[in-house]
Amino acid sequence: MNTVKESGVGQAIDRVEGHLKVTGKAKYASEFPVENKVYAQGINSTIAKGEIVSIDTSQAEKQDGVLKVITYKNAEKLKTFDKEMTAIGTDSIAPVLQSNKVNYYGEYVGLVVAETFEQAQYAARLVKFEYKKDPSAVIKFEESRSKAYTPNNGSNYSRGDMQKGLSEADMVVEQTYNTPIEHHHPMELHAIIASWENGKVMAYASQQMVDDATIAISSTFQIPKKDVRVVSAFVGGGFGSKLNLERHAIMAVMAAKIVGRPVQVTVTRTQMFTNTGMRQQNEQKMRIGAKNDGTLTALSHETLSHTSTNMEYQEPCGMVSKMLYNVPNNEVTYKLIPMNIQTPFAMRAPGEATGSFALESAMDEMAWKLKMDPIDFRIKNDTQTDLHENRPFSSRLLVECLRIGADKFGWKDRKMEPGTNRKGNWLIGYGVSAASRNSPYQKTYSKVILDLEDDGKVHATIQMDGTDIGTGSYTIIAQTASEYLNIPVEQVSVELGDSNFPVTPGSGGSWGAASYCNGARAACENAVKGLKDNRNIPQDEDVALAELLKRNQIKTFEAEGMAEPSKEFEEYSVFSFGANFCEVWVDKDTGMYRIKRMVNVGSAGKILNPKTAYGQIIGGLTMGAGMVIAEKTQVEPNFGNFITRSFADYHVPVNLDMANIDVVFLPEEDKIANKMGIKGIGELGITSVAASIANAIFNATGKRMRDLPITPEKLIEAEVEEGVSLS
Amino acid sequence: MKDIDKWKKNADLENLSDDEKMILDEMGLSGSSRRKFLKQVSAASLSIWASSYFTSELFASNMKDLPDNPQVLLNEVKVNLRVNEMVKPLTLDSRMSLLDALRERLALTGTKKGCDHGQCGACTVIIDGKRNLSCLTLAATCEGKEITTVEGLVKHGEMHPMQKAFLKHDGFQCGYCTPGQICSSVALLEEAKNGEASYVTEDLKKIEENLNLSEEEIRERMSGNICRCGAYNNIVQAFKEVHSGDDEMPTWEFATQEQMEKAKKA
């Protein structure tokens, strides 16, 4: 058995829930044994805009086993939005089947409930909808620029004088970078088993944020929050798509009420394109001005994106451009085109993943123009002050990330001139990019239950409604309890993902680790303190936990804890930083390329478990590589449907696409971030990866690829950049 | 929640199989602590921590504890499914995939539905020694075949070496593609032994039995199993270790104080 030293915070222990996952015993939403359950299948609209004029459910209803066909005509009345263009949030209501209006291709228009999955699936195809199409549907991004509006959320920003900054510059880079619609595609299809018992909702659902899911259900059905219980014990990946409650879940709850039996809905992979969120297309125009010595004088980042016609989401692509470099004149703006496509929502590192592709590509372009090493150029413009918030960073080791990474990677072997490193038919390129990601931390409650066992050991159970979406929450919370209770991790159980447990902010936005662990820490500290106070034992006296329970003459003890950001936290900008290095080999004739190796250096505060943290980093790098090599959701320009609607057409990285990855963590003490110094690492990995690969492709080929994904055909057709002389 | 109550009652009576006892022992729970643990946890968490251990027992000994037959069944077909060395007579809809039969009728939810279209590999099971996509296999066609799921790789409470290697090398994150990855990996060990060729086999004339797969070969042959969390490198390490018998070292490290100081000064 491990000792605390071997299993506490910072140790590379195996995941505590790992044995359940490798043996198939971990229970995901649709796997809970619920008696008497039936199955439902959603039906999607086949027009982008218009009205349903007639529905024929007779064929479907005639089928044996079909219990109910639900459309707007017989659906339960739900809470709908009070105003147009409501901003989408993680606890938004999710009204569905409330009118005959269709706002995008793929919107739910019906649900079939049947005894078996096969019956529901077949009968769903038999429901006939007739539509009246509205020809004013907006489905072409490029042709709809004039419809763009400035979002009303105050996200536009400027400091200094952009024009002055540009006029002071010796060199200006002005380029536009495009990223397409992308989809999260966690491996677990969104699923729910919903039932009603005595007017209360019980839902096993695949959600990242359990508390917000209960809010969404209760406010959509206008029932008290206490009458809704959501369990998300294991979540098969989320990446943002399971932050909010999607409409299939509301349909399941509604259907369960109507048929009076538990209803299971598992969305299809095709519905994962149209009904569970997405990252929208972004057109990012960058303008950078710099002096010949590399000093930045101006930086502007204008983003044109789209949202749906009835809800607003704006990805903060310019986030990084506001704070990463020491540039006095800065402007960040956003515009959105309302389109007849589903509402986009946060996908892993919203803002950073896409924004840093634009920024870090443009920085590489400027370094090339200045004939400066791109690492030196970034270091020259480093800052220890967040010029956006006008306050210091709690800690910032970006320069160390870049330099240590350069050594590890062998950056000195990089050729400044593109196309000069060759091996047979291969053109070899090295690329670098800098990364930063906000490290939020939110109020978290937690409970610990201590039990003194007959063998004299104390077993601790930690409870909170937080989730483990693959991030390692179970493990790092267990390690935290081990550390603060001074017992081995084997004596700790962690119970998560149940809305009956104390409230946490859930998993998302890189706040999970800091919030959950500090919450667990607070509960454990309170337990020890309470046990000592009861017996007037001085707080600084070192007494083993079992001994404390014995001295209290009790066998069990419970304590709750709450952790939240300090005042000091608010006075600093708290970010994690990183550097990505990449070697790419491009076939000079076919444009096919391979990522040969990657090095990532991260300074992300206290690394709670390097094994799981490594997983977060390589996962981010892999998804970032996907942005470059393949991922793109294609909108059909006449009908507004997605042409890509399965893994056969929307390609995500597979095993052979990836290469060896070395990850270096910097030892970082940042007690301003929070008491445990945790900064979160789930999104740092994906930030700016795309740029490091694109920059490596430039270094290999002399071609600047500004539109993702970079496919071989695009690469073959691209012109060599002006000023590059390929021998 | 009738089943859960039953399991809970069984647990209170210490009416556990050897496998289940071992797992609870591994969790450091014995005697009164085990009873207390099982009493304390909510119905939901009991399902997480305990029901999974009980599922195999139910499956093995007590058919009536499996999900009830659907009240209305169409296109009825009778099939004896032989899964994890146990024969289960089932009456099912002829359209039912093996994947849905395992998950919805036999409570073997270790096999995962990731796309239902044969594009992601999450539903991979081993049929007659070969890896197969259970979502593209009709259950009705499986009469007489030997099906092994991720649950069946555990023998007498002992995990398969591949399962242990995935755990050790963190060859997963969310865990949803994991059963498919593991079933693929286990079958791949056999493919290598049999000397089967792949898309990246360099010389088809030179194939021999007991192939020593290169990293490129492993990556290619595991590319039918998507891991959106991106644990590919760890999966490769886990496979390599079982395949070669040599320990694989982690590829993460902490920067040294010396490196930090050098980087600061440079």
Contacts of B147 in chain A (CB under 8 A): none
Domains, in order of start, for chain A: 4-27+442-564 (3.30.365.10), 32-135+187-237+242-274 (3.90.1170.50), 353-439+571-717 (3.30.365.10)
Angle ∠(A435,A438,A440) on CA atoms, nearest 5: 155
CA distance B166 to chain A (A): 7
Return the pLDDT at A320. 97
- Same-domain pairing of B38 and B59: yes
Choose one of B65, B85, B102: the last residue of a domain: B65
Overall average pLDDT of the A543-558 stretch? 97
**Strand runs (DSSP E) across chain B, as ranges?**
76-83, 86-93, 124-127, 130-133, 146-148, 252-254
Interchain contact, B223 vs A655, CB within 8 Å: yes
CA–CA separation, A441 and A513 (whole Å): 9
Residue B257 belongs to some domain of the structure: no
- Structural domain contains residue B45: yes
Q: Does A35 touch chain B (CB under 8 A)?
A: yes
Q: What pLDDT does B208 receive? A: 85
pLDDT value at A524 more than 60: yes
- For the stretch A370-394, what's the b/e string if a residue is b when 16 or more beta carbons lie within 10 angstroms of its beta carbon? bebbbbebbbbbeeeebbbeeeebb
Residue where a domain terminates, one of B91, B126, B151: B151
Closest-CA distance of chain A to residue B119, Å: 6
pLDDT number for residue B68: 79
Residues B166, B138 within the same domain: no
Structural domain harbouring B200: 161-244
Contacts of A620 in chain B (CB under 8 A): 230
Q: How far apart are CA A51 and CA A134, in angstroms?
A: 8
Interfacial A residues in 659-678 facing B (CB < 8 Å): 660-667
Contact assignment for A33 to B51 by CB distance below 8 Å: yes
Instruction: Select the residue from A11, A22, A400 to test the B interface by mutation, using most B Cβ atoms within 10 A.
Output: A22
Average pLDDT, integer, range A624-636: 98
Is the confidence at residue A89, as pLDDT, over 60?
Answer: yes
Q: Rounded to 5 degrees, what angle do the CA atoms B15, A463, A208 make?
A: 110
Is residue B265 assigned to a domain?
no
Span between the terminal Cα atoms of chain A, in Å: 63
Q: What is the pLDDT of residues A134-184, one digit of tens each?
A: 999 999 999 999 999 999 888 999 999 999 999 999 999 999 999 999 999
Measure B242 CA to nearest chain A CA, in Å.
Answer: 15
* A382 at interface of B, judged by CB pairs closer than 8 A: no
Catalytic residues of A: 683
Chain B residue closest in CA terms to A449: B40
Cα A649 from Cα A641, distance rounded (Å): 14
Return mean pLDDT, chain A.
97
Residues B193 and B222 in one domain: yes
Q: Do B131 and B186 sit in the same domain of this protein? A: no
Q: Is A63 exposed, middle or buried (0-12, 13-18, 19+ CB in 10 A)?
A: middle
Kindly determine whether residue A667 and residue B255, on different chains, have CB atoms separated by under 8 Å.
yes
- Given B131, B151, B171, the domain boundary residue is B151
Shortest CA distance from B257: residue in chain A: A667
- pLDDT tens-digit readout, B11-66: 444 455 565 566 555 555 555 555 555 555 444 444 344 433 333 333 333 334 57
Disruptive mutation site among B53, B93, B174, B188 for chain A (greatest number of A CBs within 10 Å) = B174
The answer to the question of residue B261 being in a domain is no
| B40 neighbourhood in chain A, CB within 8 Å | 449, 461
> What's the sign of the alpha-carbon dihedral A704, A708, A710, A713?
negative
Interchain CB contact of A364 with B (< 8 Å): no
Same domain for B93 and B146: yes
Q: Which residue of A has its CA nearest to B265?
A: A400
Q: d(Cα A203, Cα A413) in Å, to the nearest integer?
A: 56
**Contact between chains at A23 and B159 (C-beta distance less than 8 A):** yes
Based on the fold, state whether residues B183 and B219 are members of the same structural domain. Answer: yes
- What residues of chain A, 548 to 607, have a C-beta less than 8 Å from chain B? 601, 607
B226 → chain A, closest CA residue? A654
Q: Which residue has 């978290």 as its token pair?
A: A444
Q: Which chain A residue's Cα is nearest to B224?
A: A654
The domain that holds B111 is classified in CATH as 3.10.20.30
pLDDT given at position B17: 57
What is residue B25's predicted lDDT score, i.e. its pLDDT? 58
The arithmetic mean of pLDDT across residues A384-392, rounded, is 97
- Give the distance from residue B56's alpha carbon to the nearest chain A alpha carbon, in angstroms: 10
Residue of chain A whose Cα is closest to the Cα of B260: A400
B251 occurs within a structural domain: no
Number of domains in chain B: 3
Contact indicator for A352, A437 with CB cutoff of 8 Å: yes
In a domain, B156, yes or no: no
Question: Alpha helices, DSSP H only, in A57-128?
Answer: 58-62, 117-124
The one-digit pLDDT tens for each residue of chain B (266 residues) are: 334 444 444 444 445 556 556 655 555 555 555 555 555 544 444 434 443 333 333 333 333 457 778 889 999 999 999 999 888 889 999 999 999 999 999 989 999 999 999 999 999 999 999 999 999 999 999 999 999 999 999 998 899 999 999 999 999 999 999 999 999 999 999 999 999 999 888 888 888 899 999 999 999 999 999 999 999 999 999 999 999 999 999 999 999 999 999 999 87
Residue B102 within a domain:
yes
Mean pLDDT of A588-605: 97
> Could A618 and B36 be called an inter-chain contact, meaning their C-beta atoms sit closer than 8 Å?
no
Nearest-angstrom CA–CA distance, A489 and A478: 6
**Secondary structure of A556-605 in the HEC alphabet?**
EEEEEEEECCCHHHHCCECEEEEEEEEEEEEECCCCCEEEEEEEEEEECE
Is B250 within 8 Å of A660 when comparing Cβ atoms?
no
Half-sphere exposure of A310 (CA within 13 A, CB side): 16
Contact B173 A472 (CB under 8 A): yes
- Cα of A390 to nearest chain B Cα, Å: 24
Q: Do A115 and B71 touch (CB under 8 A)?
A: yes
| A622 in contact with B, Cβ within 8 Å | yes
Taking CB atoms and an 8 Å limit, are A454 and B104 in contact across chains? no
Looking at residue A491, its amino acid is Q
| Chain B neighbors of A653, CB-CB under 8 A | 230, 232
Chain B residues touching residue A658 (CB < 8 angstroms)? 219, 230, 232-233
What is residue A387's three-state secondary structure? Answer: coil
Could you tell me the pLDDT band of residue A6, with boundaries at 50, 70 and 90?
A: confident
- Mutation choice for B interface testing from A25, A36, A67, A395 by most B CBs within 10 A: A25
Mean pLDDT to the nearest integer, A495-519 = 96
Instruction: Copy the structure tokens of residue A36.
Output: 């008497």
B207/B166 same-domain check: yes
Same domain, B143 and B166: no
**A131 has a chain B CB within 8 A of its CB:** no
* Residue B139 domain-assigned (yes or no): yes
